[in-house]
Amino acid sequence: MAASSQLPSLDFLIACTLTGSELQEYNKIHYGRPDHHELTVKKSNQDNAEKNGFQISAYDFPARKEETRRPRIVKVGIIQNSIAASTDKPITEQRQAIFDKVGKIIEAAGEEGVNVICLQEAWSMPFAFCTREKQPWCEFAEPVNGPSTQFLKDLAIKYEMVIVSPILERDEVHGDTIWNAAVVINEEGKVIGKHRKNHIPRVGDFNESTYYFEGNTGHPVFETKFGKIAINICYGRHHPLNWLMFGVNGAEIVFNPSATVAGLSEHLWAVEARNAAIANSYFTCAINRVGTETFPNEFTSGDGKPAHKEFGHFYGSSYVTAPDGVRTPGLSRIKDGLLIAQIDLNLCRQIKDKWGFTMTQRLDLYAESLNKAIKHDFEPQVIRKK
């Protein structure tokens, strides 16, 4: 599903162009440190990745040793993948093909000792919301304990791993409504909760409001065996207050499972999740699907351009950022991938102490101003010449 004309990776291009002290200086300026602190991946998993056509990379984010707290080492994993069967195949066949593909990547993560893993937005289906067609795409919607959860819970138990599974949710209790949601499965294979996407795009081919509206679950943080995690689904990354509220609720790791295409958001991609990590003193994990998905029927973008069958190229480039703004290289723009980050959660408090962003953020001031702004008779605080 990868487009051969696409640039494989900006990070790889830089690494192949610069060497020695120049490359170290670039790394320090761009990534935040001269060396990526790469971790060794088991030979068996390297072979597994090569055999099954996915990239595997691993990095370390150490924290300063403290006298009063033990290190809180956690391994997080993020997966980006293309679809595995053409979109004209039966729904169950398409979904099973993705299960088979992603299952192999999760197994590699488990063998590497990953504690928490997050999949991409609507991972078990093509991102068909561009089509505005209800059938057959609504058939991918499933209850929280549906096929995706049943598939993943066994892997969660096998590897004692928390799995974040973003799905198209079917709420059978409330009128069979559909939501864009993320289900959290703990290391015992039990669903501990879900979060529904707060911000729904209405731009370009992202016609998602044809299928579901804004979520109603607030900004939940899930306390797991491996730390406090949250999920800021896709379009929420464009909204700084969405990131902020997960931090206010105590998140230490915020996953951003996404689906976004080249030509629309790629110049924003490396900025937003990284900036959120800095502003909120937590780890962020930005995940984007990869590949080009083609649909049976043509659709238009409402921009006067010809009808087409492709959404565009999903450019992958998934990455992890630490609270101090240091980040990993991104995964490939054209290839499935698993990125592993070994992190010390003590770094969250250490950076809060260093920069004082949470201490100085003035929530009281914002709350007062925002409470005024939401009223119909609001008058902006603009000082004009008398």
Q: Which residues have a catalytic role annotated? A: 121, 197, 234
Q: What is the Cα gyration radius of the chain?
A: 21
User: Closest Cα partner for 205 from 303, 83, 318?
Assistant: 303
* Number of other residues whose CB lies within 10 A of the CB of residue 123: 27
Q: How far is CA 147 from CA 92, 93, 151, 171, 187, in A?
A: 10, 13, 6, 14, 18
Handedness of CA 287, 235, 239, 370 (dihedral sign): negative
Q: How far is CA 286 from CA 11, 21, 189, 260, 271, in A?
A: 16, 29, 24, 11, 10
Structure tokens at 163: 């799995």
Please check whether residue 253 is in contact with residue 228, taking contact to mean a CB–CB distance below 8 angstroms.
Answer: yes
Q: Distance (Å, rounded) from C-alpha 4 to C-alpha 19? A: 26
